[in-house]
Amino acid sequence: MRALAADYLTVTVRQISSTGDGLGNSVGTTANVTVGGVLFEPQQATERTDANSPGVVTPAKFYLPVPLQLDADDEIVADGITWQVIGGSSVWGTQTEVPVKRASAV
């Protein structure tokens, strides 16, 4: 099944990197990349099992039409919702599969 053009998203990928300065302090930098033609695959959410965990954790995957190496510090913003990259991305030729999650309190 082929996706319709209306099914594609434009997302902002936040690549976050940390470096140390001469005093041993961590300094973070963020590079934002806008990517169009992205597909989104929601997955089944899980609910809280104890009071110290987030209320609901929603996993999903983004499929980017460009090769982009992401790691667990990075984020994807789609339709105003920020998703945290899980582990890292998998680059398959000219495309990238990115597992993400979103945690929310109830």
Q: What CATH number should be reported for the domain holding residue 19?
A: 2.40.10.370
Model pLDDT, residue 42: 92
Domain count, the chain: 1
The pLDDT tens digits for 96-105 are: 999 999 876 5
Can you give the residue range of the structural domain that contains 60?
5-104
The pLDDT tens digits for 1-33 are: 455 556 899 999 999 887 777 787 777 788 999
| Coil/strand/helix, residue 6 | helix
| Rounded (5°) CA angle 83-87-104 | 30
Mean pLDDT of the chain: 86
Q: Which amino acid is at 105?
A: A
Model pLDDT, residue 20: 74
pTM over 0.75: yes
Model pLDDT, residue 28: 75
| Coil/strand/helix, residue 106 | coil
